[in-house]
Amino acid sequence: MVDQDKIQFEKFKPVWWAPEVHTQTVIASFSETKDPDSERIEIPTPDNDFLELEVVDLKNGKPVVALFHGLEGSSQRHYIQNLMSDLRQAGYSSVALNFRSCGTKMNLQKRMYHSGETEDYKTLFNWMEEYFSGSEIYAVGFSLGGNALVKSLGELEETHPVSKAVAVSPPYDLKGGSLRMDKGFNKIYQKRFLDTLSEKSDLKREQFPDFPKFTGSSVYDFDDQVTAPVHGFKGADDYYEQCSSKHFYKRVEKPLLVIHSKADSLCPLEFAPFEDLESNRFIRTLFTESGGHVGFISQKRGWLNRTIIKWLNS
């Protein structure tokens, strides 16, 4: 295994005009997006549904990187597209998964996606092992996608098909983060999430008349009224308890880098299981003093992707 403590990472230095967490988070989402020259591929799932993938295949036998987006994101988000482009420059093929209902069309089954859904990760990894036969698999998850990636690593432990991973701004305690989203400036982010989640719920009800109707005003309400019952949980609290990544770090047995801003307001670092993170020899943490949620606008552009690629190259 790599001696992780010997890897020297570049210090994150925010640009002078975006020193604060919300400017880092918001402006990053409007940043210039590179075109990775990818191909859209659709693969079947074991439950007669489909997954939409964005694929860059360099056909060079080098490791291939799986990418997982955040809540109500997609493979078209700037952080996915730009990382795929930078990975291509570094010689890596990559595959970005669109969670069910997050691609170009609505999925077929009643269920959609959630923070602890790892069966679709297995489907993707199985496909990658066949499509990129003989290549090592790495993985990078952002926010919700990072939570599910850590859960997947903890569930499969040493048998996990990924040999190196990165989690960027993952939520550690889903309930704590959900309740925090209903406070202060975070309500602006919450409204954006709820607008699209509500639209998808309405579309799902056209497919399935008994699909739960959302009548609440917060992400917690949505998870309690929709996410939990649709995916087999007793309620939001049960869903959060079973799926929060904080329960899985101690069981990770593949090299994992966790990147997080101490100022992150959407997924507060205070909820992290610091003892498990520090005691697990497979985990390296990189906690920056500033930066946003999946938003690291640096003086020398591209700090986040350079850091991720340095870890993958190590």
Name the band, by pLDDT with cuts 50, 70 and 90, for residue 13. confident
Mean pLDDT of 250-274: 96
Name the band, by pLDDT with cuts 50, 70 and 90, for residue 26. low
Name the band, by pLDDT with cuts 50, 70 and 90, for residue 312. very high
**DSSP-based three-state secondary structure for 144:** helix
Query: How many residues in the chain?
Result: 314
pLDDT tens for each residue of 277-296: 999 999 999 999 998 888 88
Name the band, by pLDDT with cuts 50, 70 and 90, for residue 36. very high
Instruction: Give the whole-number percent of the chain exceeding pLDDT 70.
Output: 94
pTM score, whole prediction? 0.96
Asked if the model's pLDDT at residue 25 lies above 80, the reply is no
pLDDT tens for each residue of 120-147: 999 999 999 999 999 999 999 999 999 9
**Between 175 and 294, residue with greater pLDDT:** 175
Residue 190 CA from chain centroid, whole number: 17
Q: Domain 4-173+246-313: give its CATH code.
A: 3.40.50.1820
CA dist list (Å): 144 to 49, 51, 56, 93, 166: 21, 17, 23, 23, 13
At 70, phi and psi to the nearest 5?
-100, -170
- Residue 299: per-residue pLDDT: 77
Domain coordinates in residue numbering, the chain: 4-173+246-313, 175-243
Burial class for 18, CB neighbours closer than 10 Å (0-12, 13-18, 19+) = buried
Name the band, by pLDDT with cuts 50, 70 and 90, for residue 220. very high
Asked if the model's pLDDT at residue 22 lies above 70, the reply is no
pLDDT tens for each residue of 65-124: 999 999 999 999 999 999 999 999 999 999 999 999 999 999 999 999 999 999 999 999
Asked if the model's pLDDT at residue 30 lies above 70, the reply is no
Asked if the model's pLDDT at residue 29 lies above 80, the reply is no
Residues 271, 241, 226, 116, Cα dihedral to 10°? 80
The two tokens of residue 109 are 């089954």
